[in-house]
Structure 1
Amino acid sequence: MSAPPLLTIDRDLTDPDVVALLASHLADMRAVSPPESVHALDLDALRADDITFLVARDADHDGAAGALLGVGALKVLDDPDEPGGHGEVKSMRTTHAAVRRGVATAVLLRLLEVAREQGLGRVSLETGAEPFFEPARRFYARHGFTPCPPFVGYAADPNSVFLSRAV
């Protein structure tokens, strides 16, 4: 595996490579899921105050940020039933160049750290039930996520799988 990625919090979301990766992410979600089952957020939604957006980049020899490797977001949910607070993982995506390099794990682990820093007790996510999403479901299971019922803002949907874990 290469050097760990540089992970930074970004509120701007105007870097062309980030915009392109998120557009590709949305296009893929819309291509494999029915419209009512696509829950990916667009750029404007990802800029909300209740969302922490994380960018992973290669580090060059001087330690400066280089090529985009992946992104992920953590949304704080208003969930009165969850002591300690509840967060949702959103927009996890790596570039093709980052596949099998540990980037997704680095992003997810950093998002879980952010959740702990924000005092959240639980983090959940929604992903697709279609075969396209099988690698994502296996990834999250490896990191301790287990099936759960739909959470804040979601309803039961045969095209969705809901997963959760303590922080």
Structure 2
Amino acid sequence: MPLEIRLDDVAVADTRALVTAHVSGMLENTPPESCHALDADALVDNGALLWSARVDGELAGIGALSPFGEDAGELKSMRVADGFLGQGIGRAILRHIMTEAQERGIRTLWLETGSGDDFLAARSLYASEGFVECPPFGSYRDDPLSTFMMREL
């Protein structure tokens, strides 16, 4: 399975559709007041960089990095397309973003994800890549439906 991960643009139709599906999926499992997923336009407005992973040209997943302070970044919009689940795409995107972040001078990565059972796979992936739970950061507030994690690079 040749996997290509590259910077992408939310104006690309399939990429935008997967960002939209990501936000919709988050809202299915999380009430709006506890959902921190950004839509495509908000990712752009936040200055996020968005990567897509493609297998033989087909969109397999996305992940974004939003600036957070001078030498930190926040992972956003990590999503694997349904047809590619369980194939290591999420891990590949995460590792790619960590490498890119480090090359860009980012020393700490932060993230917020859900705390419920529907988010167990995501939390397990992050923990297996060295992320540890931490208190809320930035403008986030303590929320029983959120898990906050960070990792030094």
The interval holding the TM-score normalised by the smaller chain is over 0.9
How far, CA to CA, are the matches of 2:151 and 2:46 in structure 1?
23
Q: Does 1:165 align with 2:151?
A: yes
Aligned to 1:136: 122
Aligned to 1:55: 52
Letter in 2 for 1:156: D
**Of the candidates 47, 60, 78, which is equivalent to residue 92 of structure 1?**
78
How far, CA to CA, are the matches of 1:14 and 1:127 in structure 2?
25
How far, CA to CA, are the matches of 2:112 and 2:74 in structure 1?
8
Question: 1:48 offset after TM fit, Å?
Answer: 3.3
How far, CA to CA, are the matches of 2:18 and 2:49 in structure 1?
17
Unaligned runs of 5+ in 2: none
Letter in 1 for 2:92: A
Aligned to 1:62: none
Question: 1:118 offset after TM fit, Å?
Answer: 1.5
How far, CA to CA, are the matches of 1:35 and 1:52 in structure 2?
24
Q: Which range moves more in the overlay, 86-95 or 100-109?
A: 100-109
How far, CA to CA, are the matches of 1:49 and 1:128 in structure 2?
21
Aligned to 2:20: 23
- Do the aligned residues in 2 keep the contact of 1:8 with 1:54 (CA within 8 Å)? yes
Instruction: Tell which structure's C-alpha radius of gyration is larger.
Output: 1
Between Structure 1 and Structure 2, the one with more helix by share is 2
Q: Which range moves more in the overlay, 15-24 or 115-124?
A: 15-24
Aligned to 1:39: 36
Q: Does 1:127 align with 2:113?
A: yes
Aligned to 1:72: 63
Letter in 2 for 1:118: R
Task: List structure 1 runs of 4+ shifted beyond 4 angstroms.
Answer: none
Q: Deviations over 1:102-156 (max 9, x none)?
A: 1111110111011111111110100001111111111111111110111112111
In structure 1, the residue corresponding to 2:19 is in which secondary structure? Answer: helix
Question: 1:49 offset after TM fit, Å?
Answer: 6.3
Aligned length: 153
Question: Between the two proteins, what is the percent identity of the paired residues?
Answer: 39
Aligned to 1:154: 140
How far, CA to CA, are the matches of 2:29 and 2:91 in structure 1?
24
Q: Give TM-score scaled by structure 2 length.
A: 0.94
- Do the aligned residues in 2 keep the contact of 1:86 with 1:121 (CA within 8 Å)? yes
How far, CA to CA, are the matches of 1:48 and 1:116 in structure 2?
22
Question: 1:8 offset after TM fit, Å?
Answer: 0.9
